[in-house]
Structure 1
Amino acid sequence: MEELKLTSEWDKTFPKSNMVNSRKVMFRNRYGIMLAADLYEPKTAAGRLPAIAVCGPFGAVKEQSSGLYAQKLAEMGFLTIAFDPSFTGESGGFPRYVASPDINTEDFQAAVDFLSVQENVNPEHICIIGICGWGGMAINAAAIDTRVKATVAVTMYDMTRVTAKGYFDSEDSEEERYQKRAAMNCQRTVDFKNGEYKRAGGVCDPLPEDAPAFFKDYYDYYKTNRGYHKRSLNSNDGWNMTSALSFLNMPILQYSGEIRSAVLFVHGEKAHSCYFSRDVFSKLTGDNKELMIIPEAVHTDLYDNVDIIPFDKIAKFLQRNF
C-alpha cells in the first residue's frame, strides 16, 4: 500500500475562502494508484449536493488553477474536489512525472467513483471540469462515463493531437512523427542505463527574446508569484522526456461525437489553443452542447483571472443539465 504524504498547510496560489470548508481526501483509481485531492464544501451545505471533480492545467497541481475553480464553485453551492493526476503532485504512482491518455482519463472516472459514494453527494448530479490538457481528458472521460451529467472544458488542449501533429498541425507528417519516436526511444535506452528518467524541463526560463506570445503567457503564470508552485511540473523540471510517447499512438476524443451528456467549452478569443475547442465542438451533436468564447482572453487568462472566468455561466450550465 502506497502511503501519500499530504501537506497540512494552506499552500495554494489563491487565498482561502471564508465561505468554504476544505480538507484532504484520497481515493484509488482502477490501476491501483492512490490519488490526492482537496475537497471543498460550502459551509451552509445541507443534504445531498451536486458535485464536481476538477483537474488541470496540464503540468499543474491542485494548488493552482483547479483548486481555484473548485473553491469558487463550492462557494456557489457545489461540493467539489480538485485532484492531482496519477504520478504528479501529492498523488501516488511510479515512475513520477508521467502522463498517460488512458490512465489520466481513468483519473477522472476514479474521481466520479469517489464522489458517487459520498453521503452528502447526489450521485445523479456529478459533473467534471478539465482545464487546458485536462479539458481534453475530461471530454474523453465524458465519452466513456455515463455517470457524468455535464462536462466543462476550459481553455482546452487535445494533448494527443498537439503531440502527434504539432501546433496548428504544422508537424503532421509521418517523417516528423518518426523523428519524435526515434528521439524518445533513444532517450528510453539512456534512462534505462542511468536508472532514472530525465526530465524535459518545465516552462522555458529564461525566455528567449523571440519566444511566441503564448510562451510568455505561460511564463507569467508558472514562473512568477502569480502561479508558481513547488510541486508544479510546469513551474519546475517538467514531465519525463519520454512521457509523450503514448500520446503519439493513442489519440483521445475518437468518440467525442457520441457524448450524450451536456458539454460546455470555454475558451479565450485570442488563445493560441482556441482551435482545439472549436474543432471538438464541431463534432458534438445535440442541443445541450455550447461553446463560449471570452473576448480578448488568451489561454492562461482562464487559469486564474476571476474577473473574466465565467463562473456564473459555468454554474448555471451545470445546474441546468443535471
Structure 2
Amino acid sequence: MKNKIIIAIAFLMTVGQTFAQNRKSKSEKMETTEYYTFKLSDKVTRQKVSFKNRYGITLSGDLYLPKNAGTEKLAALAISGPFGAVKEQSSGLYANQMAERGFAVVAFDPSYTGESGGEPRNIASSDINTEDFSAAVDFLGLQKNVDRNKIGIIGICGFGGFALNAVAVDKRVKAVATTSMYDIPRVNANGYNDKVTIAERTKTLETLSLQRWEDAENGKPKYGAQPNPDKLNGDEPQFIKEYFDYYKTPRGFHSRSINSNGAWANTSAIGLTNMQILAHLKEISPRPMLLIAGENAHSRYMSEDIYNLAAKPKELMIIPNAVHVDLYDKVDVIPFDKLEDFFKKNLK
C-alpha cells in the first residue's frame, strides 16, 4: 500500500491504462449539465473573458467584480487551481468570495485544460502553467477599473506552487497567498514525502520515454488512468477518499475537470519531473507571502517546507482539523477574512 501511495502521488496518476469510459449513472447525469459548483453572490457580477499567454495560447476566465465598486480603481487578484480543476470549481468560489470583499478577480482555466486553448488536451507544463499566472496579470493590468499597481495572486493546491514560481519572476505582483499548496514538479520527481528513489524514477521515465515513440507513431498522446476512480473500494488512502468526496460527487464534480471526468496525457510527467520550480523562491521577498494549510492535510508538509525556505515577510497559517480538500470549497473553513486582510494590507 505504501508503494501504491508513493507512485500514485508521484506521477499524479498519469501513468496507467487508457482512460476508462465506464461512467456510473450519477456521473453520466452530471456530465450533461454545465454549472458552477457554488452560487454567485448577489453582491458580485461575473463575465466570461479571454486573454493570451506569451505562447499564444488563449486562456478562458471569469472576471468577478463587486457590484458596489463605484468609480475608484480596484485592487485585483488572479486565481487558479487546484491542479486538474476548472474555474467553475474552487478558483471560481474563491473569486466570488474575494470580489464580494471588494477586489476585481479573474479565475482562469490553465493552458490545455477546461475551456482554455492548447493542443493536445490535458497537458501540464512547469513553464507554461507558471506563465499562465503572468498572463492573467497582463489581463488585469489592462482593465480600466483595475489599479495595475495593486495586483496579487492566489494559488490553490498544485497551482499554489506555480503561483509562487510566477511571483518570484513577475515583479508586478505585490503579494501572493496559497492554500493547500502542492509543488507538483517536486511530487512528480520525488514522490510523496520525497520517498521515490532514483531507481524508481528511472524505471518510470524509461517507460515514459518509450511512450513518446508510441505517441509519435499514433500522432496523438496516450492518456493515463483517471486521477480519481468512479467508485471507491473502501481500502484507499484517506486522501483519495477526500479527493473522491470533492471531485466525484455533486459537491465539486464538473464535466470539464480532469480530476472529475478526465485524464492527463502520460508524457506530461516527463516535463514536470525534469523542470523543477521554486529555484528562486527567496526572490519573492520583499513582497509578502501567506501560506495556508490544513492541520490534517496530507500536503501540509509542502507549505511548511516553503515557509522554512522562503525569505521574510512570510506567514504560515494552519487551519485546525482541516484536511487538504476542505480548503477547496468549505467557506466556513477557508479563512477568507484573513485573505481579505492580507491583500488589503499589502495591495496599497
TM class, shorter-chain normalised? over 0.9
Does 2:113 match 1:92? Answer: no
Number of the residue aligned with 1:73: 98
| 8 Å CA contact retained: 1:203, 1:238 | no
**Which of 34, 42, 45 is the equivalent residue of 2:69?**
45
Higher helix share: 2
Letter in 1 for 2:68: T
Please show how residues 249-288 of structure 1 align to structure 2 within 5 Å.
Answer: 249-260=274-285, 261-286=287-312, 288=313
C-alpha separation in 1, matches of 2:342 and 2:281: 19
| 8 Å CA contact retained: 1:131, 1:153 | yes
User: Which runs of structure 1 show a deviation greater than 6 angstroms over 4 or more consecutive aligned residues?
Assistant: none
Q: How far 1:204 moved relative to its partner?
A: 2.4
C-alpha separation in 2, matches of 1:207 and 1:83: 30
Report the more deviating stretch, 247-256 or 201-210.
201-210
Q: How far 1:192 moved relative to its partner?
A: 2.2
Does 2:38 match 1:26? Answer: no
**Which of 259, 262, 265 is the equivalent residue of 1:237?**
262
Report the more deviating stretch, 65-74 or 175-184.
175-184
| 8 Å CA contact retained: 1:105, 1:141 | yes
**Which of 213, 219, 223 is the equivalent residue of 1:195?**
219
Q: How far 1:205 moved relative to its partner?
A: 2.8
Does 2:186 match 1:182? Answer: no
Number of the residue aligned with 1:148: 173
Distance 1:10 1:237, change over 3 A: closer
Please show how residues 135-174 of structure 1 align to structure 2 within 5 Å.
Answer: 135-171=160-196, 173-174=197-198
Deviation track 1:26-50 (CA, whole Å, cap 9, x = no partner) reads 1100000000100000000122000
Please show how residues 118-129 of structure 1 align to structure 2 within 5 Å.
Answer: 118-129=143-154
**Which of 248, 251, 256 is the equivalent residue of 2:273?**
248
Letter in 1 for 2:198: E
| 8 Å CA contact retained: 2:75, 2:150 | yes
**Which of 244, 255, 262 is the equivalent residue of 1:219?**
244
Q: How far 1:10 moved relative to its partner?
A: 7.1
| 8 Å CA contact retained: 1:70, 1:82 | yes
3-state DSSP class of the match of 2:61?
strand
| 8 Å CA contact retained: 2:80, 2:154 | yes
TM-score of the pair, normalised by structure 2 = 0.88
3-state DSSP class of the match of 1:264?
strand
Backbone CA RMSD of aligned residues: 1.2
Deviation track 1:132-190 (CA, whole Å, cap 9, x = no partner) reads 0000000001111111001011100000111001101110x221111121111222222
Letter in 1 for 2:258: L
C-alpha separation in 1, matches of 2:233 and 2:182: 24
Letter in 2 for 1:273: S
C-alpha separation in 2, matches of 1:276 and 1:267: 9
Letter in 1 for 2:327: L
Number of the residue aligned with 1:307: 332
Letter in 2 for 1:43: K
3-state DSSP class of the match of 2:258?
coil
Task: Could you tell me which runs of 5 or more consecutive residues in structure 1 were left unpaired when the two chains were aligned.
Answer: 1-8
C-alpha separation in 2, matches of 1:211 and 1:53: 34
Task: Could you tell me which runs of 5 or more consecutive residues in structure 2 were left unpaired when the two chains were aligned.
Answer: 1-32
3-state DSSP class of the match of 1:282?
helix
Letter in 1 for 2:223: R
Q: How far 1:268 moved relative to its partner?
A: 0.2
3-state DSSP class of the match of 1:27?
strand
Structure with more relative contact order (C-alpha pairs < 8 Å, separation 6 or more): 2
TM-score of the pair, normalised by structure 1 = 0.95
C-alpha separation in 1, matches of 2:204 and 2:86: 27
C-alpha separation in 2, matches of 1:65 and 1:79: 17
